[in-house]
Amino acid sequence: EIAAVLFFQAMRYRASQPAHPSNDRFVLSKGHAAPLLYAAWAEAGFLKEPELLNLRKIDSDLEGHPTPRLPFVDVATGSLGQGLGAACGMAYVGKYFDKASYRVFCLLGDGEVSEGSVWEALAFGSHYQLDNLVAIVDVNRLGQSEATPLCHDMEVYRRRCEAFGWNTYVVDGHAVEELDEALRQAAQVKGKPTAIVAKTYKGRGIPGVEDAENWHGKPMPKDKVESIIGAIQSRIQTHQVLVPQAPIEDVPQISIAGICMPSPPEYTIGDKVATRKAYGVALAKLGAANERVVALDGDTKNSTFSELFKQVHPERYIECYIAEQNMVSVALGCAARDRAVVFASTFAAFFTRAFDHIRMGAISRTNLNLCGSHCGVSIGEDGPSQMALEDIAMFRTIPGCTVFYPSDAVSTERAVCLAANTKGICFIRTSRPETPVIYPPEEKFEIGQAKVRGWEECVGGELLGDPGSMAASLSQACWIPEQKGAPACSQAAPARGGSVKWLIFKGGGECARGWWHLAGLWSPGESSQAGQRCPAPVPAGVLGLGQRL
């Protein structure tokens, strides 16, 4: 009933063009209900009914949880508690950037409401008065293994949603008229998002299954299928073809391809500049180059220097406060359908809290740029809780993720521009201390390409490698009087490791790294491969932080 009213009464969209920018958005936060989503799109005419029989088959895009392999899915769901945050991001873009008529609908399960990220999203939605957003909570009382904490206590749900600033309706989720009326009223509300709390019964109308535990994710017994189908069909009151309302086509045309900085970096070799500040400067410049560049932060803008973006582009800065999980989900929603070039920043250590949301962003094939500051032990006086030591290891596991660890202000600015034009998730790692500028403003950078200083003097000696703020220190170390043997050169490692290995093979020297946890370095397999490919035995030392903090 909920899906029927949504798809064929409340929502406006072109069924033949699911990703049309003027279409209303729908996020199935309770991703395990994917068959419902597929059935709705089949009823709308986009999918052919026989395709539904391929559900969960290895050669079918109709997976057990929806992904953007399907054109009607904007963000992957299934890891619960994340859909509403993404819906908030879509609604924010629709209201404040596109200034368009499309609305955003999100269907949640009552089980996932136990996730704290849901309440982070509820707080965000009301704070920014997202009156183009409707969250529908399917309260069927049952979780995966037992009843949910509140069961069918609908008044508690109402009070909690209202306490978070949402216009709230409690309805019978099986009553089409009540659902229709609630959605009609929601469309008239201004200044608040709407929550529709729908009381439902899992397996309604199926004897022995309705409102019974231990049926989550289980198929019906084969000997009962015919009778169950008959019972459902007997409740259908009309067989007329349902056609959704057409969208109001008022979304502006935009372009986010090929964004270039308006001017080269304005730094001189030897200047002392923290890479975190260079990030803020670069982001502000990038925002001047394209009005679809958007910045989010988790109440650390005066540390990450995203405040420099806010100062010149306040209308495109989104404060997400201390709710990193929701910040990432909102960022994913902002980037959906390529409506914005999104940068989100906080301390790199705090992104670990949002790892699952980042992982789902990769599954969503989202173009999202994350900047983590205060990396490494250079902020030692603050203690280990603030040090990002695990972040490189974490982001290296994200499929398709590009990791930038710039060495100075110039390479930081170049990294920001590269990230804006790179598909997939990008992570830019910045540091708090001021470090010397080692590259001229005209220096060119490419993803996957290493930079080596002093190569002419290095062959046959040592190669000291570090991607990031230690590069300047290593450069200084290279010029220490040669009292212990061969000379050395320094290397600032690239975003991807192929050329790093090549340099080590050719240089035949030692590679030293630091400022992160050892687990975030090369894997044992990569180290072994490097040793096997060298023409002669090479002493390869790997420096980093061990198990004790």
Q: What pLDDT shows up at residue 526?
A: 54
Question: What's residue 449's pLDDT?
Answer: 83
Helix and strand numbers, DSSP H then E, in the chain:
18, 16
Question: For residues 114 and 9, is the Cβ–Cβ distance under 8 A?
Answer: no
pLDDT at 456: 54
Report CA torsion sign: 356, 140, 330, 34.
Answer: positive
Mean pLDDT of the chain: 88
| Domains 1-234 and 271-437 are alike in CATH topology | yes
| Structure confidence at residue 37 as a pLDDT band (50, 70, 90) | very high
Q: Which of 315, 241, 320, 311 is nearest to 283 (CA)?
A: 311
Q: Which CATH number fits domain 271-437: 3.40.50.300, 3.20.20.60, 3.40.50.970, 3.40.140.10?
A: 3.40.50.970
Integer CA distances (angstroms), 258 to 64, 261, 337, 448, 508, in order: 36, 10, 17, 19, 39
Per-residue pLDDT, 496: 47
For residue 150, give Cα distances in angstroms to 147, 153, 155, 243. 8, 6, 10, 37
Instruction: Specify the pairing of strand 434-436 against strand 272-274.
Output: antiparallel
User: Do the strands 462-465 and 341-347 form a parallel or antiparallel pair, or are they unpaired?
Assistant: unpaired
Question: What are the residue numbers of the active site?
Answer: 324
What b-and-e string marks burial along 261-288, b requiring 16 or more CB atoms within 10 Å of the CB? Answer: beeebebeeeeebbbbbbbbbbbbbbbe
d(CA 7, CA 321): 34
CA–CA separation, 273 and 317 (whole Å): 24
List pLDDT tens digits, range 476-522. 555 444 444 444 444 454 444 444 444 444 444 444 444 445 555 55
Going by pLDDT thresholds of 50, 70 and 90, the confidence category of residue 232 is confident
Confidence of residue 239 (pLDDT cuts 50, 70, 90): confident
Give the model's confidence band at 379: pLDDT under 50 very low, under 70 low, under 90 confident, else very high. Answer: confident
Higher-pLDDT residue of 50, 381: 50
**Above 80 in pLDDT, residue 265?**
yes
Class of domain 1-234: alpha beta
- For the segment 301-315, the average pLDDT, to the nearest whole number, is 99
Please give the full DSSP string across 330-370, using - where no structure is assigned.
HHHHHHGGG--EEEEEEEGGGGGGGHHHHHHHHHTT--EEE
Look at the block and give the residue holding tokens 């582009």.
313
Listed in sequence order, the residues at least 6 apart from 53 whose beta carbon sits closer than 8 Å to its beta carbon are none
What is the DSSP-derived secondary structure letter of residue 170? E
* 3-state SS class at 161: helix
CB 334 within 8 A of CB 364: no
The domain ranges of the chain are: 1-234, 271-437
Structure tokens at 488: 């050395």
User: Do 45 and 108 contact (CB within 8 A), yes or no?
Assistant: no
% residues pLDDT > 70 (the chain)? 82
- pLDDT at position 16 is 98
Q: In the prediction, which pLDDT does 208 show? A: 85
Q: What is the per-residue pLDDT for 240?
A: 85
What is the pTM for the complete model shown?
0.90
Dihedral sign (CA 349, 353, 358, 363): positive
Angle subtended at Cα 525 by Cα 517 and Cα 539, rounded to the nearest 5 degrees: 75
Separation in Å, CA 548 to CA 305, 382, 544: 31, 17, 11
pLDDT score at 502:
43
